[in-house]
Structure 1
Amino acid sequence: MTTHSTLRKEGGTPGDPGLPQPSAGLKAGLKNRHLSMIAIGGVIGAGLFVGSSGGIAKAGPAILVSYLLVGVMVVFVMRMLGEMAAASPDSGSFSAYADRALGRWAGFSIGWLYWFFWVVVLAVEATAGAVILEGWIPAVPQWAWALIVMVVLTATNLASVSSYGEFEFWFAGVKVVAIGAFVVIGLLAVFGLLPGSDNPGAGLAHLTDAGGFMPNGAGAILTGVLLVVFSFMGSEIVTLAAGESEDPRRAVTKATNSVIWRIAVFYLGSIFVVLTLLPWNDPSIVEKGSYVAALDSIGIAHAGQIMNVIVLTAVLSCLNSGLYTASRMAYSLGERGDAPRAFARANAKGVPTAAILASVAFGFAAVYFNYAFKDTVFEFLLSSSGAVALFVWLVICLTQLRMRGILLREAPEKVTVRMWLFPYLTWATAAMITFVLVYMVYDKDNREVVLLSTLVAAVVVGIGVVLDRGRGARREG
């Protein structure tokens, strides 16, 4: 069994059996405050601000149950990942662990699929940011804004890991403060305690006064799950970034332990406020977006522009983290011989330049496809990467089932975070993720996404198996 290199780890030595070994490449340039904010901001994507209105329209107030179900699933997945990452921090995170626990083909496959997901996200977020910026300064065309945003954040990532961390610290800070303020102000308005509010302060009445709590039936909760599940992607970023921090084990442990309140406040709390400020079927929720409609109902002037600033911040944060995440996964794949070796080279500042440039090159190509071939090439890219989040979570479950035994045999003192009720809760989480994937096949709005994603995954897994067998044959020869 091969071992995988990573950054220095507190308490580890080059002789630790079975644990990733120190790398001369990446540097520990992220401070604890960077990691804390990356962990908090990682669960707040632009999808929360932009996509929540669609879920509300489909499921009504019962969308809260959808968010709760997905939130619980993410908490369990993060607990599993936290167990492995705290014991063995690695820039490849779950890909490196899958490599070790399930086989080279598994690490290769999930690593490249995850990279693919994030480089497509780069194009989506760059375009979303460009739409907002063009609205403010129409003289600059949308494609030029997308280019400017990509270039600026590429330069940030190329400068040093600390510059990425600093940008993300402030981007995530804006999102956290904005949602925190939204929840507090919204709750005051809900109960009629906000001075000068235009909202009638109906309390919890709007949760049931427009057709009941489940106006579209219990089945709409599952439809809601499909709509909200992708907005949670990004919570795992902290486990990739932890390897470049001053104290990776502490950072991972803290992030894993805090994921429950982060999801409760930022997702359930903010959606709860929207649903109690307005009836779920209020047309403004879809027309303006759920958060803008809620702010308008309170009587906050220029709510749309305020929200645009916050969404732009979320977009830039997602772009910044997406490029960082894709490049570190490419770096880890290069280290393990599953990508060009150039990807595993870092400059004097600890920046994997080739991995960043390769990731952003694909991102630029995807932006071009979004403008030139939106309904063909880009639609394929978008659909074929759409279910990768669920594939990643499923692989984390299966990996942790094997890694627990490996870690306890080789370095039991490193297992400082443990999955609850192992292995029963791990199997239950894997079953729930599988159920969501199967349900997507029967949902006409998601069928294409899951089938195309599965097709691409099958091709990548096939390549991984062939390469793995080729290596085995060369060793035997």
Structure 2
Amino acid sequence: MSATRIDTVADGELSRSLSPRHLSMIAIGGVIGAGLFVGSGQAIKAAGPAVLITYVTTGMLVVLVMRMLGEMSTADPQTGSFSVYAERTFGRWAGFSVGWLYWWFWVVTIGVEATAGAVIVHRWIPGVPQWAWALILMVALTLTNLFSVKSYGEFEFWFAAIKVAAITVFLLLGIAVIVGLFPGTPSPGLTNLTGNGGFAPHGLGPVIAASFVVVFSYFGAEIASVAATETADPVNTVRKAVRSVLWRILIFYVGSIAIVVTLLPYDDASVSKSPYVAVLDKIGLPAAGTIMDAVVLTAVLSCLNSGLYSASRMAFSLSGRGDAPKSWRKISKAGVPQIAVLASTVVGFLTVALNFVVPDEVFSLMLNTSGAIALFVWLAIACAQLRMRRQLERESPERLVLKMWAFPYLTWVAIVAMVLLIVGMVLDDSGRPQALASLGLAVVVIAIGVVRQRRSQTSPSRSK
């Protein structure tokens, strides 16, 4: 298997100014988003304390996916990451499809996160219209990504640091209350875990259904494999990031959710609305709502920042492979694909506008089309790893510096789990609209990719 860097183009190379500390925080921040701070409330309401099972099982799926991606990324670091690996193992149509679907997910997410951030800031400063705040946030982070990759890394470092600090304090306060060390707040013991209908008050069905919500809150961990190519030592940087995924998920996700369901009844109205604020209110922390608003705003801006970075780098990679406009592969003197960044922000700005103009029509459709893409991307990673591992074992076994555990058995376990999740989404009333819209978009993009591949096979080979 060729090790050609097909992301390197004549116009220049991407900057390698991200440091290990940047990537470490990018990897951590990638799995701590608004989905944890806000979206977790709906999962808790649906499944009860047994939602812990959901977070553990889906978290293990993420760990497997990241291990597979880490194996491929350390063997051959690429800006296009899993899109490149899908192309090499299944053909140009696969790389085209995975790359564009991933790009679409993030450009839609950019608009969603800008809107969510604007809602929070508007509550603080209502004199400025909400749409204006969304515009301000979009412009600010667009400029950050245009300036240099180091500025992106610095912003993401501090965003992630704030999120990590917030969850760490939350965990410490929660543990103190649970063991009876926090003054003025009695420990509930195991009452909230075993009372109110038991650990799984609604049975196992809602526990499984909650996976559809939880799985998307984990999406973003893969950003580390994309960003690693802009570090001085991509192989070791990816290896460290992948190995830290397990403890990050166990501590930040499972640990904090365990605190919530232990301290509060799962059916408390405040839990479904904002579980972390509800816990801080119980502890008696002054201005708990404002504090969590600030943390959620940080998570939102982090997601917007990383989404713009990820979308632009995937666009750059697609351009380098002839699957996007050639202008998108041009590199600035600072080593930034500025046109790719701007192309990604155009859709972000459009998404923000549509959210305010037609929130129940076009915007909702766009949001639905991105709903199941996380599972499609993870499935592509697993399938690509299944083939690429065998190619590497035959041709370049020395490049397997980070191997997938129990290959190929755990790879197949992950593939089956993801297929079942997609089928489950289609069968579930709440998940069906997103699943069908996402599948429809995927079919269209794959069809375009297949047509392009067939046409390229009848023309001179494209340059790598």
**TM-score where L is the length of structure 2:** 0.97
1:5 aligned partner? 5
1:142 aligned partner? 130
Summarize deviations over 1:119-143 as a string: whole Å, max 9, x none: 0000110000000100011111000
- What secondary structure does 1:53 align onto? helix
Equivalent residue in structure 2 for 1:213, among 199, 203, 210: 199
Q: Give 1:475 deviation, angstroms.
A: 3.5
Q: Which amino acid aligns with 2:73?
A: A
* Greater CA drift, 33-42 or 405-414: 405-414
In structure 1, what is the Cα distance between the partners aligned to 2:283 and 2:43? Answer: 22
In structure 2, what is the Cα distance between the partners aligned to 1:386 and 1:292? Answer: 26
Summarize deviations over 1:79-125 as a string: whole Å, max 9, x none: 00000001111100100111111110000000000000000000110
| 2:419 maps to 1:431 | no
- What secondary structure does 2:210 align onto? helix
Cα separation, partners in 2 of 1:3 and 1:455, compared to 1, 3 Å: farther
Equivalent residue in structure 1 for 2:269, among 274, 283, 287: 283
Q: Which amino acid aligns with 2:147?
A: A
Cα separation, partners in 2 of 1:165 and 1:171, compared to 1, 3 Å: same
Q: Give 1:285 deviation, angstroms.
A: 1.0
| 2:418 maps to 1:418 | no
Q: Give 1:22 deviation, angstroms.
A: 10
Q: Which amino acid aligns with 2:300?
A: V
In structure 1, what is the Cα distance between the partners aligned to 2:9 and 2:383? Answer: 24
Taking only the aligned residue pairs, the percentage that are identical comes to 55
2:365 aligned partner? 380
1:15 aligned partner? none
2:176 aligned partner? 188
1:45 aligned partner? 33
Matches within 5 A, 1:42-441: 42-194=30-182, 196-198=183-185, 200-287=186-273, 289-441=274-426
8 Å contact 1:4–1:336 — kept in the other structure? no
Q: Give 1:389 deviation, angstroms.
A: 0.1
In structure 2, what is the Cα distance between the partners aligned to 1:65 and 1:399? Answer: 28
In structure 2, what is the Cα distance between the partners aligned to 1:64 and 1:423? Answer: 28
In structure 1, what is the Cα distance between the partners aligned to 2:458 and 2:231? Answer: 39
Q: CA RMSD in A?
A: 1.5
In structure 1, what is the Cα distance between the partners aligned to 2:178 and 2:381? Answer: 40
Q: Which amino acid aligns with 1:432?
A: A
Summarize deviations over 1:171-200 as a string: whole Å, max 9, x none: 000000100110111011111112x243x2
Where does structure 2 lack aligned partners over 5 or more consecutive residues?
none
- What secondary structure does 1:365 align onto? helix
Matches within 5 A, 1:13-52: 24-52=12-40
8 Å contact 2:114–2:300 — kept in the other structure? yes
In structure 1, what is the Cα distance between the partners aligned to 2:242 and 2:132? Answer: 39
**TM-score where L is the length of structure 1:** 0.95
Q: Give 1:205 deviation, angstroms.
A: 2.6
8 Å contact 2:30–2:223 — kept in the other structure? yes
In structure 1, what is the Cα distance between the partners aligned to 2:337 and 2:241? Answer: 25
In structure 1, what is the Cα distance between the partners aligned to 2:117 and 2:184? Answer: 31
Aligned residues: 461
Summarize deviations over 1:320-362 as a string: whole Å, max 9, x none: 0000000000000000111111111101110001100000001
8 Å contact 1:3–1:21 — kept in the other structure? no
Q: Which amino acid aligns with 1:101?
A: T
Q: Which amino acid aligns with 2:403?
A: R
8 Å contact 2:3–2:76 — kept in the other structure? no
Q: Give 1:407 deviation, angstroms.
A: 2.0
Could you list the structure 1 runs, at least 4 aligned residues long, displaced by more than 6 angstroms after superposition.
20-23
8 Å contact 1:6–1:243 — kept in the other structure? no
Cα separation, partners in 2 of 1:428 and 1:296, compared to 1, 3 Å: same
8 Å contact 2:319–2:325 — kept in the other structure? yes
Q: Give 1:24 deviation, angstroms.
A: 3.2
Summarize deviations over 1:284-330 as a string: whole Å, max 9, x none: 2124x100001111111110000000000000100000000000000
- What secondary structure does 1:214 align onto? coil
In structure 2, what is the Cα distance between the partners aligned to 1:286 and 1:366? Answer: 27
In structure 1, what is the Cα distance between the partners aligned to 2:367 and 2:99? Answer: 18
Summarize deviations over 1:27-84 as a string: whole Å, max 9, x none: 1010110011111111101111110110011000011111111101000000000000
8 Å contact 2:12–2:330 — kept in the other structure? no
1:13 aligned partner? none
